[in-house]
Amino acid sequence: MITLLRKIFFSLLVIILLFTSGCWNRREMDTLTVNSALGFDLIETNGETKILLSVLTIKPSQAIGGAGDMAGGGAGQQQSVTGQVISITGDTVEDAVRNWNQCSSRQLFMAHTVLFVIGESVAKEGIGWVIDFGTRNRDIPERALVVVCEGTARDALQAQPEFEPLLSTEVYNILNQNRYFTSKSKATDIIETMYDLLTPGRDVSLAFLKTFVPPEKGSSVRQTPQTIDGKDSEGEQPDHKVPTVAGAVVFRGEKAVGRLNEAETQGMLFIMGEAQGGIISVAFDSTGKNTSFLFRDVNTKVKTVIEKNEITYQVEIKGTGELIGAAPGTIDITNRSDIQKMEHMINKEVVYRCRKAVNKAQELGSDPFGFGDKLHRTHPGVWKEIEDRWEDIFPHIRVSITAEFSVEHSGLIDKSLHIR
Amino acid sequence: MISFFRWLGKFLKHMTAEPTGALLKPGDPGYQEVHTLSSNLDKNIKIITEIFGLCDDLMVRGLKIGRGKKQVRVAVIYLDPLINHTRLQQGLMHCLQTIDHLPSMGVTTEWLINNALSDGRVIEKKSFVEITDEINRGAACLLIEGLDQALLIRLAEKIGRAVEGPVTENVSKGALDAFNEDVRTNIALLRKRLHTTRLAVENLQIGELTKTEVKLVYLKGYVIEGLVDEIKSRVRRIRIDGIVDSGQVEELIQDSAFSLFSLLDSTERPDKLAANLLEGKAGLLFDNTPIAIIIPGTLINQIQSPEDYYQRYWFSSWIRVLRWLALLTALLGPSLWIAIITFHQELLPTELLMTILVTREGVPFPGLVEALIMELSLEVLREAGLRLPQTFGQTISIVGAVVLGQAAVSAGLASPGMVIVVALTAIASFVIPTQPLSNTIRILRFPFMLLAASFGLIGIIVGFSILTYHLCSLRSYGIPFLSPLAPLSFGDLKDTFIRAPIWKMLFRPRLTGYREPQRQNPDQRPHPPSRKGKKFIRRRK
Amino acid sequence: MLDRGRISSVQLFLLLVIAEAATAFLYAPSSVIKMVGRDSWLTPFIAAISGLVVAVVCIALAKRFPQQVFTEYLPQILGKIPGKILAGVYTAVFIHLSSVIMNQSSAFIHVAFLRETPLVALEIIIGLASIYGVYLGIEVIARQNELVWPVWVLSIFIIILLVAESINPDNFRPFLEKGIMPVIKGSALFSSFRGEVFLLLMLYPYLNKKEDVYKSAVYHLLTTAVLLGIITAAIIGVFGELIPVYMVFPIYNLARYISLARFVERIQILIVVMWMFGVIVKLAVFYHSAAIAAANTLGLKNYRLTLLPILAGTIIISRLFYGDHLSLTHFLSHIFPYYGPVVELVIPALVLLIAVILKKGGKS
């Protein structure tokens, strides 16, 4: 009996503890604002440099059907999601995050962040603190991608996505698929950026986000902007910008030093072994590029050769692919010599692109390929000697590039068309 | 104040005192000082009618047997409603009246049994206690002038329903007979399945007034050593005025009295009982209760259905995996949902998060309150559906489920996500094949919801740890309740999360069937006829 | 022997693994990678050797008194007063270790998820769950562990499978850049974790087949070495040797980095929940030893009486000494490497020596 009483007392105690304790960390859903992307800028206010944090929040909007709809089962509610950019300033980025609550009744919930947009000003001054913020914060997922944008991040985030409800998901998907579709821009997440920042002999390269006004008017996917303040916006639709990724930005240390264009970016990705699909167009039997080759299964090997105090990198790129387009009367896939010629031209083009990338990088003094790191891994002794001087050595290292692509298929037709 | 403490003291004393008055002792009403019969017929009749007192249904019929001078007076006493009158007429009255010659030595009971009575179920008794007891059970008592012994002819009419299908343990494939309220029928159903002299049926009795017949059944030589003695001693320890259902006995003989779990399995299916006896367990069958108790019980046994063994093993294994998932869903469904929507929103895909955000917008309650409202109304609905007449039951469940859920969403009392979770939980809890386990889970859901609301998933895992600690500590008649999971016996796992093919289940479960480990020939797997079978040599230690 | 439970050699093996690895894999990789860098994944294997030494000493000692736990036979070896004093010291050691474990796990949860929840509340619920297991006895803890084990190991393999595509083999090169010495130095840090096999002193009497104890210990050392080695290797493979230096819980970051087809992401909490299942068992094992030791020292007949005071004690110690994260990491990387070997190896070895010289206890 006594033990029973004791047990009841004890369990009551526990239950009371549970109840009174309740919910320190509870975040009810209706107290949250979910954000999908963060933009970082530096601005000058009153002579002080402050951080401008732009938050792309997800605004759920519920379009409730008419009364007749409710009678018909009440399930006729349609939900759509739109993004809204809100900017806040602060001395530090955490300060800015907290300042959010000065102007919003809802907490910022960052666990669904997929994109970090770094404004030009921050990229030039140094991105270290952005990466610190991204890795220290326990909500932000490390898989979020980091991009550098043209102009300020605040403007870039306000671009209208064409196909996804949110800009962030659109850019995220573009970048993630890029590797298999075009290999013209690089998807780098926070951890990879951190890795590149920390590892000696390796520099950061991030995708470059551009916005532009599309020449096509009234894109059907785009929603008409809502009337604001009762002002009818009909007739004077503001020009929307749409996002696009264009090449890469390379850094030296934490500071951006220059841009690679699409072809150079592709060359860089070839050397890094990250190009997994895309088009190489070559000029077969003509002066203009008219024949397209889709490459796949690219395998890159970088060898370090040290001869007489000179470091040479041998980059071997091997890959396969198929011919997916040819100008009439040019290539005949049934002819072996044509194939060989084709392969030769592809190889030349790939080497050209890589060469351009290396030259540009050496010119900028930034090593996004990780050549120094490679040396460290393979020849730790040599690396130890030249580690301090790497920045001076890198612009002068020799890189020999060979490419070996083979054409395996040619789509559903083999010869190119012979037109009368 | 003082009086309150005095009252409290009294109350505690009352609560802790030894039970009194549970026993009927000599001297109580209905008890006679005279213990055995005398040779005076009239006196015997008088005493019996006095013992029965105000029983108007007691019939005393005087007769004279034999012819001429040697006629002997006899009396037949029985309780009218219990007797099968046709058999009374044919097996007793008719026989008595057609006796021609009485033996010269005088009438003896042996003579009557040997020469006069045609009914088989006759016993001799001397004491009033035994005689009245038999009459109470539906025997006709034959008293003979000049003899101090009575003959008792068991002529009880079988009262109750015929063998029908199971109510709670339905199967789609398998036998369709179930135990009913008559213990003899139940034993017959069991014997029909176990045609062996090894099947022991021992009589026990519970209840001073109800004198309920309890049959202990087990397979001699197969049953766990010491189990039978333990059961007997626990059953004999019961001193109670009466029991009317096996559930009451279950509470009196199970191990951990305060546990939420039912440590004994119960079944209404003779095939399940038979299969369990074959694994070395024992069973208790009760008169007036269609539910038999299987001892010892395990958790695994409670989430298995006899059907698992009748279907193909691929399908059964799949169903078992599903059942485990359903068990977890039924236990943790609402609490996981609460934890996710109030603590771990990052777990949701962004699109789903948005949808929930929109649908929860109008709901004024925190997740826990919302879940409690829905769960409680569901529990009420369930209970209502059970108590309502069957024709209404269907209606109420549809009205409850559809209309209430829809209305709650429209009224902004609950979000659609919560309605789905609660409905899923309810459906999942119906997948659990045994009632006691299902009920336990229904209760346990609530503490988990509280924990989830206070600490999120961490709270759930702490609660789950405590639950598994508790389960690990339970034993049912010496057998760990969680066996064969903990303590792990690897060989027995083939009959837990999955169901191995019958020909693979060579051995009985290690803890219960160790006395005769091997169940079947090792070469039972069907082969093309050309292959020869291996010899019967493998034995497990 | 105050607990009448019996455990099998497999259960002992599983218990030892959980008792060592459940928190070690959370804290040890970070400090080892700080010291050793790229080759840290070798250290658990080297540390296993020191674990073996501890195991041999402890088993030799335990075999002399097969029916008693360490704190029970200490007075018989050392004499009444010194024995009781040393038993008291060990009670304190177990309570202290329990509070460190409790602090490790609750601080982790506190930092990683429930920042607004007071640490004390977390410690209380985790502690309550653990002492409930201790209340039920070693047998129940061992059985619980059999249920926990698959879940716990599964959590580790889920992480490693789902980050496998991010593992860069280049991160392991150059192999042994600075020679083998840093690895050996670093393994000294691991050895204090590996030395937790000294729990054998408190668990041996419950073993039902005493001759299998070596098997349990060796399997334990191997399994733990492999597990910790794989974990450390995965961390280095994904993050390289430079990023983990900045990370407080690298394995947790690894769990955050999980990605399956860009769909299964952000599931770190599920992984952590699976670990907590193991932590509660680990804590229970230490609490059990603490409770038995305390009861022996005080001469109690029922060790369960000590449970609530011990729980309160551990929470107070953990609040007083390890209020901030820094003091905990300082303890783990600077004090524990010295403190551990003393209580795990030196004192048991001395006691064994005295027992051999004085011919106390049965020969093994």
Record: fold of C9-341: Amino acid/polyamine transporter I (1.20.1740)
Exposure string for A371-393, b = 16+ CB within 10 A, e = fewer: bbbbbbbbbbeebeebeeebeee
**CATH number for the domain whose boundaries are A261-420:** 3.30.300.210
Q: Do A30 and B406 touch (CB under 8 A)?
A: no
Among A29, A105, A173, which would you mutate to test the B interface (most chain B Cβ atoms within 10 Å of its Cβ)?
Answer: A29
According to the model, what pLDDT value does residue A231 have? 45
- Contact list in B for residue A79 (CB cut-off 8 A) is 354-355, 358
In a domain, residue B521? The reply is no
Q: Which residues of chain C have pLDDT under 70?
A: 1, 363-364
In a domain, residue B252? The reply is yes
Q: Which residues of chain B have pLDDT under 50?
A: 18-27, 29-30, 32-33, 541
Q: Which amino acid is at B238?
A: I
Q: Which amino acid is at A141?
A: P
Q: Do A111 and C266 touch (CB under 8 A)?
A: yes
Residues B44, B141: Cα–Cα separation, whole Å? 11
Residues A220, C273: Cα–Cα separation, whole Å? 47
Both B329 and B467 in one domain: the answer is yes
- How many residues belong to chain C? 364
According to the model, what pLDDT value does residue A230 have? 44
Which neighbouring-strand residues pair with A409? A322
Both B281 and B322 in one domain: the answer is no
**Which of C10, C129, C269 minimises the CB distance to B457?**
C269
SS3 at position B238: coil
Q: Which residues of chain A have pLDDT under 50?
A: 63-77, 220-236
Residues C253, C249: Cα–Cα separation, whole Å? 7
Confirm or reject contact between A129 and chain C (CB < 8 A): no
Give all chains having 3 or more CB-to-CB distances under 8 Å with chain A: B, C
- Contact list in A for residue B402 (CB cut-off 8 A) is none
- CA-based nearest residue in chain B for residue A18: B454
Residues A332, A313: Cα–Cα separation, whole Å? 36
Confirm or reject contact between B352 and chain C (CB < 8 A): no
In a domain, residue B395? The reply is yes
Angle, nearest 10°, between helix axes C347-358 and C70-78? Answer: 50
Residues B361, B352: Cα–Cα separation, whole Å? 14
Confirm or reject contact between B258 and chain C (CB < 8 A): no
Q: Do C174 and A25 touch (CB under 8 A)?
A: no
| Pick from B218, B183, B215: nearest CA to B197 | B218
SS3 at position C84: helix
Which neighbouring-strand residues pair with B534? none
Residues in B whose CB is inside 8 Å of some CB of A read 12, 15-16, 258, 341-343, 345-346, 350-351, 353-358, 360-361, 363, 366-367, 406, 409-410, 450-451, 453-454, 456
Among A138, A178, A387, which would you mutate to test the C interface (most chain C Cβ atoms within 10 Å of its Cβ)?
Answer: A138
Work out the number of other CB atoms within 10 angstroms of the CB of residue B65.
Answer: 21
**Which of A23, A27, A30 minimises the CB distance to B361?**
A30
ipTM of the complex: 0.91
Work out the number of other CB atoms within 10 angstroms of the CB of residue B107.
Answer: 20
Q: Name, in order, each residue with C-beta under 8 angstroms of C52's C-beta and a sequence gap of 6 or more.
A: C217, C218, C221
| Pick from B540, B536, B336, B327: nearest CA to B440 | B327
Which neighbouring-strand residues pair with A205? A250
- Contact list in B for residue A36 (CB cut-off 8 A) is 350
SS3 at position A308: coil
Distance from the Cα of A94 to chain B's closest Cα (Å) equals 20
| Pick from C251, C224, C211: nearest CA to C51 | C224
The count of domains in chain B is 3
Confirm or reject contact between A276 and chain C (CB < 8 A): no
Q: Do A377 and C246 touch (CB under 8 A)?
A: no
**Both structure tokens of B218:** 């087990």
CA angle B152, B155, B161 (to 5 degrees): 145
SS3 at position B79: strand
According to the model, what pLDDT value does residue B40 have? 83
Q: Do B469 and C122 touch (CB under 8 A)?
A: no
Starting at the edge strand that comes first in sequence, how are the strands of the sheet with B139-144 ordered? Answer: B58-65, B72-79, B139-144, B150-154, B122-125
Q: How confident is the model over B3-61, as pLDDT tens digits?
A: 666 666 666 666 555 444 344 444 454 454 457 788 888 888 888 888 887 888 888 88
| Pick from C109, C87, C139, C113: nearest CA to C306 | C87
**DSSP code of residue B365:** S
Distance from the Cα of C163 to chain B's closest Cα (Å) equals 18
Residues B61, C112: Cα–Cα separation, whole Å? 89
Residues of the domain holding B89: 41-154
- How many residues belong to chain B? 541
Both B277 and B142 in one domain: the answer is no
Residues B354, A109: Cα–Cα separation, whole Å? 12
Both B87 and B141 in one domain: the answer is yes
In a domain, residue B131? The reply is yes
Yes or no: say if B483 and B224 are a contact pair by the CB < 8 Å rule.
no
- Report A:67-96 residues touching B (Cβ under 8 A): 70, 74, 79, 81
Distance from the Cα of C246 to chain A's closest Cα (Å) equals 10
Domain boundaries, chain A: 30-62+77-215+239-260, 261-420
Distance from the Cα of C37 to chain B's closest Cα (Å) equals 32
**Which of B12, B351, B360 minimises the CB distance to A30?**
B360
Both B325 and B467 in one domain: the answer is yes
According to the model, what pLDDT value does residue A105 have? 84
In a domain, residue B194? The reply is yes
SS3 at position C131: helix
- Contact list in B for residue C116 (CB cut-off 8 A) is none
In a domain, residue B397? The reply is yes
Range list of H helices, C164-248: 181-194, 200-203, 213-239, 243-246
According to the model, what pLDDT value does residue A66 have? 38
Yes or no: say if A152 and A121 are a contact pair by the CB < 8 Å rule.
yes
In a domain, residue B188? The reply is yes
Q: Name, in order, each residue with C-beta under 8 angstroms of B127's C-beta and a sequence gap of 6 or more.
A: B35, B36, B37
Both B222 and B262 in one domain: the answer is yes
State CA B182 to chain mean position distance.
13
**Which of A22, A60, A169 minimises the CB distance to B358?**
A60
In a domain, residue B457? The reply is yes
Q: Do A25 and C115 touch (CB under 8 A)?
A: yes
Q: Name, in order, each residue with C-beta under 8 angstroms of B6's C-beta and a sequence gap of 6 or more.
A: none
**DSSP code of residue C304:** G
